[in-house]
Amino acid sequence: SREMQDQFAARSHARAWAATQSGAFKTEIIPTGGHDADGVLKQFNYDEVIRPETTVEALSTLRPAFDPVSGTVTAGTSSALSDGAAAMLVMSESRARELGLKPRARIRSMAVVGCDPSIMGYGPVPASKLALKKAGLSASDIDVFEMNEAFAAQILPCIKDLGLMEQIDEKINLNGGAIALGHPLGCSGARISTTLINLMERKDAQFGLATMCIGLGQGIATVFERV
In a domain, 41, yes or no: yes
Quick one: 115 and 215 in the same domain? yes
pTM for this entry: 0.92
32 & 119 share domain: no
Examine the pLDDT at 213 and tell me if it is beyond 90: yes
pLDDT of res. 30: 93
Q: Supply the CATH number for residue 172's domain.
A: 3.40.47.10
Question: In degrees, to the nearest 5, what angle opens at C-alpha 201 toward C-alphas 45 and 5?
Answer: 65
Q: Which pairs count as long-range contacts for 117-121, CB under 8 Å and 24+ apart, including other chains?
A: 117/216, 117/217, 119/217, 120/213, 120/214, 120/215, 120/216, 120/217, 120/218, 121/150, 121/151, 121/153, 121/154, 121/155, 121/157, 121/158, 121/213
With contact defined as beta carbons under 8 Å apart, do 73 and 5 qualify?
A: yes
Average pLDDT over residues 118-146: 97
User: Residues 61-114: pLDDT tens digits?
Assistant: 999 999 888 899 999 999 988 989 999 999 999 999 999 999 999 999 999 999
Q: Based on the fold, state whether residues 73 and 104 are members of the same structural domain.
A: no
Of 19, 9, 39, 76, nearest in space to 198 by CA? 19
Residue 85 lies in a domain: no
Last residue in a domain, options 77, 101, 128: 77
CB 179 within 8 A of CB 77: yes
Q: What confidence score (pLDDT) does residue 215 get? A: 86
- What is the model's pLDDT at position 164? 97
Judge whether 88 lies within some domain.
Answer: no
pLDDT digits (tens, 9 = 90+) for 29-73: 999 898 888 999 999 899 989 999 999 999 999 999 998 888 999
Do residues 175 and 200 both lie within one domain?
yes
Residue 32 is part of which domain span?
Answer: 2-77
User: Looking at the domain assignment, is residue 194 inside a domain?
Assistant: yes
- Asked if residue 206 and residue 122 are part of one domain, the reply reads yes
Same domain, 108 and 6: no
CB 215 within 8 Å of CB 120: yes
pLDDT digits (tens, 9 = 90+) for 164-208: 999 999 999 999 999 999 999 999 999 999 999 999 999 999 999
